Structure 1
Amino acid sequence: MTGRPRSTGTERWAAGCWGLLGLALGVVAAALLLVHVPERLERERDFDAVGRCAADRPPAECRRLAATVREAVSEHRNRKTYHRLTLTDAGGTTHRVEMLGRHPVFDAVSPGDPVTMTVWREQVRRVDFGELRQETTATPTGAYRLTAAAGLSTLAVSLGFLWAAWWWARRHTESPEREPRQVTVVVLAALGGAAIAFVAPLATDDLRTALLVAAVGEVPVAVVAALLVRHHRRRAGRSFDVTPRRPEKERCFPGTVLGEVPYAVPGYDHLVAAPGLLAATPDPTGRVARRPLPGTLVVERVRLPHRGDPGGTPGPGSHVVQCRDGGTPVFIVTDRADVPWVLGALGPRREALPRGGGEGN
């Protein structure tokens, strides 16, 4: 039970899964940020170069076509509402246009109303109705925002997953605990950073500002995550300082004894604690088939479950009372709330638990 535990097949599998997820998300983020965002920015610059087709006399690339509203429909699908106009131009061609929101044009028009469409590169970018003007979803202005938000947030999650893969690959050098908290901290930090990265492009006016806001927002998240990881790493394999509670009457609770000793019996999944008695039993009432733990048992410390412990995976909230019976290691696994009763039942056989860096119960 001493030394650094070796990497297992389960840990290598976990490292591989985290790594594959991280790489896949990294590829997606790269495609969004290095391909799709530049394409949308270039299209926006081209649209700006023609004055967004907003001049009284727009360039030849821009066409303004008179049209008539045939239908205005709001469609609800997948928790989202789409506002669409069906327009017919003077040549009889029908255009189905999705508007950005309801205001001001969509709410104002009715079937039969005359409108003016602004067409750029064969797509309707804007609809005018009298003095009212509204962009369509095909407008290049700001079209990069949602793509950049998706790319930056995906990149943040990708980095978190890749860090988790790296940590699992070398986990045996960091912590013996069965459920180390470092990975959880970093993955949660990555998700928090992803939320900041997603909002940044949507709340700013240009990509450079969005990147700056995202970078500044990630700093406190990264600092807090680094401090928590350092904190957990320093306390890896720590012992808990637990105050014994001597039972005045018999108490029966879930727990098991593990080790190469005769009183560690498979299926004995309950413990009976009483004054001067600690016994294992398969009976949830604790009345029959008791196996008392001997007076030679000595407590060494209380800790979290380790990967090298015998037996299966303990339930959530389990703690281990690490003991020895002569030269044989013995492990009493029970819920954290029941550890004081175990120590109290063992009574004078219990050694002083290590002090310093422990957690009180």
Structure 2
Amino acid sequence: MSYFNLTWLVRNAFMAVLTLLGGLALVVSAVALVAAGAPDGARDLRAYQAAQRCPAAPVAPAECRWTQVFTVSHIALTKSKSKSNRAVLTSADGARWETFYASRGPVLNGLDEGDRVTGTLWRGRLTEIAAAGASQETRAAPVDTRAGVLIGALIIVPPGLLMMATGIWRLRRRTSPPTPGMVATLGLAFGLLVGGLFCPVLVGDNGDEFWPVAAAWLAVAAVLAIVARLHVSQERASARVSSP
């Protein structure tokens, strides 16, 4: 039985070219992602950290920070990783701000409707709340996007390179049937791509940090590489047994 039943993807030169182009597209996409997001990934975060307190309440989005008191009008907490925790805050003038949070604490899970918090405004966004000596950022707070860019590259570059290698390998041996190694390499590429997408989920709240995701991805890659190697060994052993 072929590894993940992917023999059809390397059965002829046409499919090998498609595999090669698919891998090339992944690698080019990763390079473009890094080139666009890495150089200025921390620009907004640095600007936020360096922002001074506004001398007066801003009437338009401003580069300075302004803090004011809000009343909690509604709270919705969730344990689902696919949904954000939410709170509606109402200012003294009646304006309602719907805010979202990556986690339940340390502030949000201690609040009830009617409680008061101190919110920070920057560039027209409510970036964090504070209460009882603790603070918590909202989803609107600026972050260093470089980690996310590197995670994206980590997830898609190795599978792309393996797909390209499989395509080239098949084209160089297009007159022969696909080998177990070709199929296993392509199966490993797809496995790494799917496994990489799940790594941020596996590490929970550290899913936006590079090194925890890299560690989880490397563990997944090691397991998949072992599985691919075992498949090739089994295929070769079966071929020797069936040979006259």
- Whose RCO is larger (CA < 8 A, sep 6+)? 2
Q: Which residue is equivalent to 1:187? A: 186
Q: Which residue is equivalent to 2:137? A: 135
| Structure 2: runs of 5 or more not aligned | 1-9, 54-61
Decide which structure has the larger Cα Rg and report it.
1
Contact 1:149 1:199 in 2 (8 A): no
Q: Which residue is equivalent to 2:69? A: 66
Alignment partners' CA distance in 2, 1:198 and 1:45: 30
Alignment partners' CA distance in 2, 1:49 and 1:210: 28
Query: 2:20 is matched by which residue type in structure 1?
Result: G
Please state how far the C-alpha of 1:198 moved relative to its aligned partner. Answer: 7.9
Contact 1:40 1:144 in 2 (8 A): yes
Larger mean CA deviation between 128-137 and 24-33 belongs to 24-33
Contact 1:88 1:94 in 2 (8 A): yes
Alignment partners' CA distance in 2, 1:38 and 1:198: 26
Please state how far the C-alpha of 1:185 moved relative to its aligned partner. Answer: 2.8
Structure 1 residues 14-54: Cα deviation after superposition (integer angstroms, max 9, x where no partner): 12221232233234323332213444322233334349x8x
Please state how far the C-alpha of 1:205 moved relative to its aligned partner. Answer: 9.6
Mapped pair 1:170 → 2:172: yes
Q: TM-score, normalised by structure 1?
A: 0.48
Please state how far the C-alpha of 1:241 moved relative to its aligned partner. Answer: 4.5
Match of 1:124 among 106, 123, 126: 126
Aligned residues: 214
User: Structure 1 or 2: larger helix share?
Assistant: 2
Q: Which residue is equivalent to 2:13? A: 12
Please state how far the C-alpha of 1:169 moved relative to its aligned partner. Answer: 1.8
Summarize the Cα distance change of 1:196–1:75 in structure 2 as closer, same or farther, 3 Å threshold: closer
Mapped pair 1:150 → 2:156: no
Please state how far the C-alpha of 1:121 moved relative to its aligned partner. Answer: 2.3
Q: Which residue is equivalent to 1:45? A: 46
Query: 1:65 is matched by which residue type in structure 2?
Result: Q
User: Structure 1 or 2: larger strand share?
Assistant: 1
Contact 1:126 1:135 in 2 (8 A): yes
Query: 1:63 is matched by which residue type in structure 2?
Result: W
Q: Which residue is equivalent to 1:240? A: 240
Summarize the Cα distance change of 1:148–1:198 in structure 2 as closer, same or farther, 3 Å threshold: farther
Q: Give SS of 2:240's match.
A: coil
Query: 1:151 is matched by which residue type in structure 2?
Result: A
| Structure 1: runs of 5 or more not aligned | 1-8, 54-58, 243-301, 303-352, 354-361
Structure 1 residues 74-98: Cα deviation after superposition (integer angstroms, max 9, x where no partner): 3687x62321111122333221110
Q: Give SS of 2:77's match.
A: strand
Between the two proteins, what is the percent identity of the paired residues? 22
Query: 1:49 is matched by which residue type in structure 2?
Result: A
Q: Give SS of 1:88's match.
A: strand
Q: Which residue is equivalent to 1:83? A: 85
Summarize the Cα distance change of 1:180–1:239 in structure 2 as closer, same or farther, 3 Å threshold: closer
Contact 1:149 1:198 in 2 (8 A): no
Summarize the Cα distance change of 1:60–1:123 in structure 2 as closer, same or farther, 3 Å threshold: closer
Alignment partners' CA distance in 2, 1:155 and 1:84: 35
Contact 2:72 2:89 in 1 (8 A): yes
